Amino acid sequence: MVSQTNSPAAAAARPVRPPLGDWLAVTMGDACGIGPEVIAKWWGRDSRAVVIGCPRVMQRAVAWLPPERAPEVVALSDWRDASKLTAGQMGVWAPPGLPGDLLDAPLGQVDKRAGQAAAACIRAAVRLAQQGEVGAIVTAPLHKEALALAGEPYPGHTELLQAEGAPAGQPPAPVRMMLANRQLRTVLVTIHVSLRQAIEQVTFDSVLETLRITHRSAALWGQPKPRIAVAGLNPHAGEGGLFGSEEVDTIAPAIRAAQAEGIDASGPWAPDTIFMRARHDPPRHVGEFDVVVAMYHDQGLIPVKYMGLDEGVNVTLGLPFVRTSPDHGTAFDLAGTGRADEGSFAEAAAMARLLLAGRAGQA
């Protein structure tokens, strides 16, 4: 049963938690996928978190847990009331724009209502972050097709966050996707476009901007002078122009420009071996680099995901606030089964805390 914060029990005296500025806003993701379940399974590992989503959907997810692990879902009329809750309670704030019949959207299926709700949660979380009321956003996965059915012009989280995170009247700042686990970090020059479009978008400016964003962001995770390896676009990094000219004409000049700015970038390296060289798993293997810049989505994400989805974290670099996410999708085939694994979500929340600490150190 979902309880309300205006009930007599909720009004009882409770210990007040730390200031809201360092809280995590956890967005529910697609209501028809595993996002609500992984949040429910993770809940309780960070005492400064609030869920932005539908209380009834979260209650359904909590019901899949063993009773001893199930938190009490508390519907918040004001999200700030999350600071009044006690251990074992999950504060859930329903932002404007949630469909009233969201619980009717069938589990494991693409549904317009779920896309609408996911976008509403993201927009509400961004507003809180922009106002400095929460320190970071941790997003459960949404479904790109459901987002499109809801009429959203953005192909995914990254583009939606970029647009919503822009100050009023200003163009969106350039952002990049980083996927990371304990052994490897990779940043992408291009993301959710076709492979043909990605090749066209690998330009001098896009590669240089990626190197700048990667260099600036690395200080947040404790590497103010990261060693950045740049993957080539073509097989064997083009072999000096034998297999394509992008490395010679575009990528190498961008690397030299970054080096002139004091950025420790090198390459372009053969993309079929650079990820092995960068993998850091001491004492068995000490990485030669701290992060790899990849030219397109699958080139950079396959190596990280191959190492295991339970540790991977998606980080959006370049935003004016911290945003992390698990590296898996909505997993419709697992929705409603109670078998979803919260490992990647836990890593995403931990990464958000790490980046928040780094940002505080720069202030």
Question: What's the token pair of residue 42?
Answer: 């993770």
Question: What is the distance between the alpha carbons of residues 8 and 356, in angstroms, rounded to a whole number?
Answer: 35
Cis bond before residue 66 (omega within 30° of 0): no
Question: What is the distance between the alpha carbons of residues 158 and 344, in angstroms, rounded to a whole number?
Answer: 18
What predicted TM-score, i.e. pTM, was given to this entire model? 0.89
Spell out the domains of the chain, with CATH numbers in brackets: 1-172+320-334+342-353 (3.40.718.10), 182-307 (3.40.718.10)
**Sequence-distant (≥ 6) Cβ neighbours of residue 349 within 8 angstroms:** 24, 26, 42, 45, 46, 49, 138, 324
pLDDT of residue 192: 87
Cis bond before residue 271 (omega within 30° of 0): no
**Sequence-distant (≥ 6) Cβ neighbours of residue 74 within 8 angstroms:** 2, 3, 4, 5, 10, 55, 85, 89, 90, 91, 92
CA-nearest of 153, 170, 152, 174 to 162 is 174
In tens digits, the chain (363 residues) has pLDDT values of 566 654 444 444 444 444 568 999 999 999 999 999 999 999 999 999 999 999 999 999 999 999 999 999 999 999 999 999 998 999 999 999 999 999 999 999 999 999 999 999 999 999 999 999 999 999 999 999 999 999 999 988 989 999 998 888 888 889 999 999 989 999 999 998 999 999 999 999 999 999 999 999 999 898 999 999 999 999 999 899 999 999 999 999 999 999 999 999 999 999 999 999 999 988 888 999 999 999 999 999 999 988 876 778 999 999 999 999 998 999 999 999 999 999 999 999 999 999 998 877 766
